[in-house]
Amino acid sequence: MTKIAVITGANRGLGFAAAHRLGHAGVKVLVGARNGSKGEDAAERLRSKGVDAESLNIDVNSVVSVQEAAMRVDRNYGHVDILINNAGILPEATASNIDRPLDLRMFRETFETNVFGAISVTKEFLPLLHKSASGRIVNVSTTVGSLADQVDPESPYYGLICPAYQMSKAALNGLTIALSKALKGTSIKVNSVCLVYLSHA
Ligand SMILES: NC(=O)c1ccc[n+]([C@@H]2O[C@H](COP(=O)([O-])OP(=O)(O)OC[C@H]3O[C@@H](n4cnc5c(N)ncnc54)[C@H](OP(=O)(O)O)[C@@H]3O)[C@@H](O)[C@H]2O)c1
């Protein structure tokens, strides 16, 4: 049976690259996008590269959107094999935010997408993952969220200060650990990953 993958924030960036890779491994990819036309466009680009792809409207900050996406996947496929919680934001990357290290609104905004979004998506898709013979949840984290790296002067990330993003990814890693324990004994495995762009040069 064809494996089904749902990837949030897959209309561009690393999510799109993951969709491309999984598609070429024979997985049917549901391209999560909060903007319907961007999702359609990304799915079309993937199909033109030989990937079995379909767009899936999903804004991880909207519970209604997440629930509707899960219902649609349930109706059309009845199960999910791979869920990649990839959608993420880094508001501290913009120059105007660099001087606001303790801006509460920015912390809330970052956590809303990077942490609560992943929790919401996982909650709604978990019943569908249970219907897979070997469900996989992949939380897209980052090494810069590693507490060990942040306090290791030898780490290349030691000098990096973007606390909202770093804390959100550390929290996401906490979710991974808790879920992997809670789902022990089921066929579902949960992991955090740090995705990187690979040059083919
Ligand atoms: N780039 C890196 O070097 C790097 C390294 C380690 C980890 N990561 C992590 O990898 C993931 C992807 O990063 P990226 O560099 O590919 O980022 P990106 O190019 O900025 O793409 C982010 C994706 O997330 C989507 N998104 C944001 N908020 C969303 C929401 N509320 N609902 C649904 N989708 C939403 C964006 O949609 P729109 O197009 O509509 O904005 C976009 O598709 C993130 O979790 C990031 O933290 C990145």
Q: Is the dihedral of CA 98, 104, 106, 107 positive or negative?
A: positive
Query: Is residue 201 pLDDT above 50, yes or no?
Result: no
Whether pLDDT at 98 is above 90: no
Q: What residue spans define the domains of the chain?
A: 4-194
Instruction: Judge contact between 137 and 83, C-beta under 8 A.
Output: yes
Catalytic option among 38, 49, 123, 165: 165
Question: CB within 8 A of 193, min separation 6: which ones?
Answer: 138, 139, 140, 141
Query: Which one, of 57, 69, 171, 37, lies nearest residue 112 by Cα?
Result: 171
| Ligand 1 atom having least distance to the Cα of 87 | 24
The mean of the pLDDT values for the chain is: 94
Lowest pLDDT segment from 52-61, 82-91, 99-108, 149-158: 99-108
Q: Please report how the helices 104-111 and 163-182 are oriented relative to each other, as an axis angle in degrees rounded to 10.
A: 30
Pick the CATH number of 4-194 from 3.40.710.10, 2.40.30.10, 3.40.50.720, 3.30.360.10: 3.40.50.720
Cα(13) to ligand 1 centroid in Å equals 7
Ligand 1, atom 42, lies closest to the CA of 9
Q: Are 152 and 121 in contact (CB under 8 A)?
A: no
85 forms bridges with which residues in the sheet?
Answer: 139
CA dihedral sign of residues 73, 77, 80, 85: negative
* Nearest atom of ligand 1 to the alpha carbon of 141: 7
For this structure, is 169 an active site residue?
A: yes
Residue 93's pLDDT is: 83
Specify the 3-state DSSP secondary structure of 22. helix
Nearest C-alpha to atom 45 of ligand 1 is from which residue?
88
Question: Which residues make Cβ contacts (< 8 Å) with residue 50, sequence separation at least 6?
Answer: 23, 24
Average the pLDDT over 92-108 and give the result.
80
Cα–Cα distance measured from residue 1 to residue 6, given in angstroms and rounded to the nearest whole number? 16
Instruction: Answer yes or no: is pLDDT of 8 > 90.
Output: yes
Q: What is the mean pLDDT of residues 22-50?
A: 98
**pLDDT range class, residue 200, cuts 50, 70, 90:** low
Lay out the sheet containing 82-85: strands in order across. Answer: 53-57, 28-33, 4-7, 82-85, 136-141, 189-194
Greater confidence (97 vs 10) lies with: 10
> Above 80 in pLDDT, residue 59?
yes
What average pLDDT does this structure show over 1-5? 93
Q: Is the pLDDT of residue 129 over 60?
A: yes
Question: Which residue, judged by its Cα, is nearest atom 43 of ligand 1?
Answer: 9
- Rounded Cα distance between 121 and 52, Å, is 22
Please confirm, yes or no, whether 165 is among the known catalytic residues: yes
